[in-house]
Amino acid sequence: DAGVTQSPTHLIKTRGQQVTLRCSPKSGHDTVSWYQQALGQGPQFIFQYYEEEERQRGNFPDRFSGHQFPNYSSELNVNALLLGDSALYLCASSLGSTETQYFGPGTRLLVL
């Protein structure tokens, strides 16, 4: 039974570029949440997707957008990258509105 997987593991971009990160939830899970974790900080909630719709959103600008596909996998898109977007991006999956989230290994994004 595969857990939460994310791709790519590492990514280097330059300011102004756009990036897409991908997440496959744990088998049987239908809800995906995305988090940004800056170095030395706790994860910050970006948004949550359920039934292909954004259900909740944290305090992040519109440059951060997402999508959930019929197979429950999800993408996080960030436009017009800033240096401050450099972070570990974590994806967590859960079943419906249950409170047990399983985290993926993360994608480390470096913006130069």
Contacts with another protein by CB under 8 A lie at 4, 35, 40-45, 48, 50, 55-56, 88, 90, 92, 94, 97-101, 103-106, 108
> Given the complex with another protein, which of 57 and 79 has the nearer CB atom?
57
User: Least distance (Å) from another protein to the CB of residue 8?
Assistant: 14
Q: Of the two residues 66 and 104, which places its CB atom closer to another protein in the complex?
A: 104
Instruction: Single out the residue of 109, 112, 103 nearest to residue 23, CA to CA.
Output: 103
Largest CA distance in the chain: 38
| Cβ nearer to another protein, comparing 52 with 79 | 52
Q: Which bin fits 106, alpha (ψ -120 to 50), beta or left (φ > 0)? A: left
